Amino acid sequence: MQSYYVTTPIYYVNDEPHLGHMYTTIAADVLARHKRMMEHDVFFLTGVDEHGQKVQQAAEKRGITPIELADQVVQRYASLWPELSISHDDFIRTSSERHQAGVAEMWKLLLDNGSIYKDFYEDWYCVPCETYWTETQLQDATAGEGKSCLDTATCPDCKRSVEKIQEESYFFKLSDFQDKLLEHIHNNPDFIAPESRKNEVLRFVEGGLRDLSISRTTFSWGVAVPDDEGHVIYVWIDALSNYLTGLGFPDSAKTEQYWPADLHLIGKDILRFHAVYWPAMLMAAGLPLPKRIFAHGWWTVDGEKMSKSKGNALKPADLLERYDADTLRYFLLREVPFGSDGDFSENALKLRYNSELANDVGNLLNRSLSMLQKYRAGVLPEVSEEEPQDRALIADIEAMQREVDEHLNQQAFHLAIERISQVVRHGNRYVADNAPWVLAKEGNETRLNTVLYHLVEALRLIALQLSPFMPTKTQQMFHQILNDEQVDTNNLHFHEQAGWGLLKSGHVCQKPSPVFPRME
Ligand code: ME8
């Protein structure tokens, strides 16, 4: 069986989950579900990043210990993911014994392979980003009003204060990997996506790689450097290793089975860590590189970056009070191409829902099952002859099935949904073109049979393709179409269910009840 290993970033526990964290995790979930339906052996990993100065400071501010803070925030994630129907196979915490042991092993591998040395670090650090900055980088970045980031002592990325640090530190020989990284990126065109992000990484690497400071001595919340307890391993070295420790690295059957990862899904904010530092670490450790890294775009609210200080971060609990999980899942992946930025608006959500789900899918479901009730008492009739337009509907569905898979392999969620929507619109046109009510009036029973059958079977196959996006709503669709309370959208397989004509004549469908009621 082909394996498929997909990951999300592990989220910092300094703060509560928000819309951005939901977004990446929902995207990973859709892929995991789709691949399970393709009968791949899927491993879907998510988790939390508990270490580092930022988390330590957040805990201090609240007057609790870092692990107490981590425990609280972990609870939030643990209760949120099931509410959003997230079907992860494991949840990694960086404070766990299994993770820390794996990080220490990774360190030893890098050390044994000659990629770590001890020196002194004297430069800048941004705690919110947990990023090192050189004087030159700050000098070159503009902070506005003719000032550089060095003048204002602010981070070029997040614009918050940077601090000067001077301490003994271990370094990773990142500079050794510049050519190998460039070669890898050029030889593996699918390694970094989308294209614009790949170019960003290429420009960064071509600009020259400096060795990376990978330990700190001035705080303690992290994994201790093996045999040098005064040093804490840099939080990004610690965090990136989760993709392996989550499999039980160094010695586990799962590492053999699932590594290298098929896909790391991340936001564009953490591209450099994933597309430069992580591959270089893996090369240094002599381990295979992930097959693909996709850095998606950024959600803003009313045009502004979500942040705690602005108080505009969209909280999952508030959203879930107003909208069901499936609607949020659908909207987030439908509204904005995965690599692009998007602005979250409830108006846009309602418009999208009403036009594509209530009007198109909901309408097709309702009118088809209503007509089946009205004209055939809910019993699926026999098809005795097919016209070209019936075959065109089937051909469109079969093409959709192939194309949805292709789009998802490129993480083009919006195109996958758009392709399904095309079939839904085709279905509604088919109703209008065939006017079953006229056929009934004319007594054209043979044609009416064919039309009713095609509508219901098309709906079943539409629901099948939509199920990774909307596992609960499509479960309701299946209940009505298949008249079966037992249908489990966590356990459907294309190989068994995607063929045309699997519904048999004589099958009884339920009376329709609204799955996508209109939103006001
Ligand atoms: O960076 N729009 O954790 P983090 C879209 N611990 N996605 C967003 C977003 C937004 N406005 N805000 C956050 C870290 N995200 C590290 C990762 S991985 C080895 C360590 C999502 O809690 C997006 O996936 O800051 C982004 O990359 C991630 O949350 C950052 O989460």
Reported as a pLDDT band with limits 50, 70 and 90, residue 252 is confident
Identify the three-state secondary structure at position 114: coil
Distance 435 CA to ligand 1 centre (A): 50
C-alpha–C-alpha distance, residues 178 and 139, integer Å: 23
Tokens 């899904």, located at residue: 265
What would the mean pLDDT of 392-396 be, rounded to a whole number?
98
**Domains of the chain (ranges, CATH numbers):** 3-110+239-334 (3.40.50.620), 115-216 (2.170.220.10), 345-497 (1.10.730.10)
Ligand 1-lining residues (CB < 6 angstroms): 9-12, 20-21, 23-24, 49, 239-240, 242, 266-267, 269-270, 298-299, 306
Note whether 305 and 20 are within 8 A (CB).
no
Distance 403 CA to ligand 1 centre (A): 29
Bridge partners of 5, per DSSP, are 43
The overall pTM is greater than 0.85:
yes
Tell the residue nearest (CA) to atom 27 of ligand 1: 267
Bridge partners of 90, per DSSP, are 45
Burial class (CB in 10 A: 0-12, 13-18, 19+), 68: exposed
- Ligand 1 pocket mutation pick from 23, 94, 276 by most atoms within 8 angstroms of CB: 23
Distance 116 CA to ligand 1 centre (A): 28
Give the distance, in angstroms, between the CA of residue 497 and the centroid of all CA atoms in the same chain: 25
Cis-peptide into 260, omega within 30 deg: yes
Distance 136 CA to ligand 1 centre (A): 27
| Residue 304 identity (one-letter amino acid) | E
What would the mean pLDDT of 476-489 be, rounded to a whole number?
91
Distance 294 CA to ligand 1 centre (A): 13
What would the mean pLDDT of 79-101 be, rounded to a whole number?
98
Looking at the predicted structure, is the pLDDT value of residue 303 above 90?
no
Looking at the predicted structure, is the pLDDT value of residue 190 above 80?
yes
- pLDDT cut 70: percent of the chain above it: 100
Question: 31-78: per-residue pLDDT in tens?
Answer: 999 999 999 999 999 999 999 999 999 999 999 999 999 999 999 999
Distance 471 CA to ligand 1 centre (A): 25
Looking at the predicted structure, is the pLDDT value of residue 308 above 70?
no
Q: In sequence order, which residues have a C-beta less than 8 Å from that of residue 39 and are 6 or more positions away?
A: 1, 493, 494, 495
CA distance readout (Å), 124 to 164, 250, 487? 4, 33, 56
Identify the three-state secondary structure at position 465: helix
Torsion of CA 435, 440, 445, 447, to 10 degrees: -10
Bridge partners of 305, per DSSP, are 300
Question: 256-297: per-residue pLDDT in tens?
Answer: 999 999 999 999 999 999 999 999 999 999 999 999 999 999
> Sign of the CA dihedral 446, 452, 453, 454?
positive
What would the mean pLDDT of 370-384 be, rounded to a whole number?
97
**Whole-number pLDDT of residue 426:** 98
Tell the residue nearest (CA) to atom 19 of ligand 1: 240
Looking at the predicted structure, is the pLDDT value of residue 484 above 90?
no
Closest ligand 1 atom, CA of 48?
Answer: 6
**Whole-number pLDDT of residue 223:** 98
Closest ligand 1 atom, CA of 24?
Answer: 24
Mean of all residue pLDDT scores within the chain: 96
C-alpha–C-alpha distance, residues 472 and 464, integer Å: 12
The runs of H, that is alpha helices, within 219-309 are 235-240, 242-245, 253-258, 271-272, 278-285
Question: 18-43: per-residue pLDDT in tens?
Answer: 999 999 999 999 999 999 999 999 99
Closest ligand 1 atom, CA of 243?
Answer: 19
- Ligand 1 pocket mutation pick from 130, 244, 269 by most atoms within 8 angstroms of CB: 269
Does residue 130 or residue 223 have the better pLDDT? 223
C-alpha–C-alpha distance, residues 515 and 363, integer Å: 10
Gyration radius from the chain CA atoms: 26
Tell the residue nearest (CA) to atom 12 of ligand 1: 20
Looking at the predicted structure, is the pLDDT value of residue 307 above 90?
no
Reported as a pLDDT band with limits 50, 70 and 90, residue 452 is very high
**Whole-number pLDDT of residue 343:** 95
C-alpha–C-alpha distance, residues 223 and 234, integer Å: 8
Least confident residue range of 28-42, 131-145, 404-418: 131-145
CA distance readout (Å), 469 to 82, 337, 408? 15, 15, 11
Distance 274 CA to ligand 1 centre (A): 12
Closest ligand 1 atom, CA of 269?
Answer: 27
Identify the three-state secondary structure at position 162: coil
**Whole-number pLDDT of residue 311:** 79
Tokens 């026999």, located at residue: 382
Distance 10 CA to ligand 1 centre (A): 8
Give the distance, in angstroms, between the CA of residue 11 and the centroid of all CA atoms in the same chain: 13
Distance 23 CA to ligand 1 centre (A): 9
